[in-house]
Amino acid sequence: MTPVQGRLIESCPVGCTAPLATTDIVLPEGPLLHCTACGQLLSQASAARYWETMAQFDRTDYNQPVGRELERRNEIARRRLHIVEKLLGKRPQGLRILDVGCSRGQFVQAAARFGFDAEGVEPAPRVAAAARASGLTVHHGLLEEQQFATASFDEVIEHLKEPRVLLRECARVLKAGGILVISTGNTKSWTKSVMKSRWDYFQIAKDGRHISFFNPSSRRQLASNCGFVVERIDTARVKFYGKEDSARWLYAAGKVAAKLLNLPARMLGKGHDMLAYLRRPCAD
């Protein structure tokens, strides 16, 4: 493979030293690459393209869900926090949570409502300011810039761009036995196998920051490399056609098929949304 100069990611972000190879999935940024050791998929987006798409996260009108969408997100937050409670074996009162990349802080707000001591970190200045204006404790900047005390938090919710650097910082600020929750797409999903280049997670123009794509094996490898133990990895949802890029009848048929396959996908780890719960080991 001839190296592509100027791309943002030049080697496997999981930490493998194996070579990268091209795949048959071609995006506007070029063919996706994959790590020949762990199977991690990588975009060939340049740094300039990455930061161009990141601008969408700092619009004044960005991420303001209402109605059913807000209810859906609150229900997702409730389920995730319930799992964290079970893993920690503690009630929410007194548990300190940090949401890294918290946007306007909807998860922070939901966690506080359920009794957690919750705060967030958000690099987009306008959105972070909007979160603080709503009364939430949200810090502006990157996690590494906050200088939180070691072992400050019981749980960290995380969205990753530079996974090893960020996971090690998460490990530092987590208490021994604390939980890190990471939400990403699953490249071993039925959805990715069918949609290929149409898969939502590959569309950097529609949703910036998506340049590195995990599967359960690469997620476990990354966790091990950064000193975490994997408690559980859940996957959910199946999708075959987008509403905006297919005929109405095809989208409707695909939606019916996806609903029938949601439960088997969850059971077999083939859902296209992947949620990993990692634990910082307790000291011996």
Q: How much is the pLDDT for 161? A: 58
pTM of structure: 0.92
d(CA 272, CA 79): 18
Q: How much is the pLDDT for 158? A: 67
Burial 26-62 (b: 16+ CB within 10 A, else e): ebebebbbbbebbbbbbbbbbeebbeebeeebbeeee
Q: How much is the pLDDT for 63? A: 84
- Residue recorded with tokens 């995380």: 158
Length of the chain: 284
Contacts of 248 (CB under 8 A, 6+ apart): none
Domains of the chain: 20-279 (3.40.50.150)
Residue 247 CB burial class (10 angstroms; 0-12, 13-18, ≥19): exposed
Mean pLDDT, residues 110-133: 94
Out of 54-63, 73-82, 219-228, least confident range: 54-63
Q: How far, CA to CA in Å, does 230 sit from each of 45, 221, 224?
A: 30, 10, 8
Q: Which residue has the higher pLDDT, 41 or 156?
A: 41
For residue 236 the two structure tokens come to 């959910």
Instruction: Determine the number of helices (DSSP H) and then strands (DSSP E) in the chain.
Output: 9, 11
Query: Which residues are paired to 153 by β-bridges?
Result: 174
Q: Say whether pLDDT at 6 is over 80.
A: no
Q: Are 123 and 140 in contact (CB under 8 A)?
A: yes
Q: Say whether pLDDT at 148 is over 50.
A: yes
pLDDT in tens, 30-53: 999 999 999 999 999 998 888 888
pLDDT in tens, 55-66: 888 887 888 888
Q: Say whether pLDDT at 267 is over 60.
A: yes
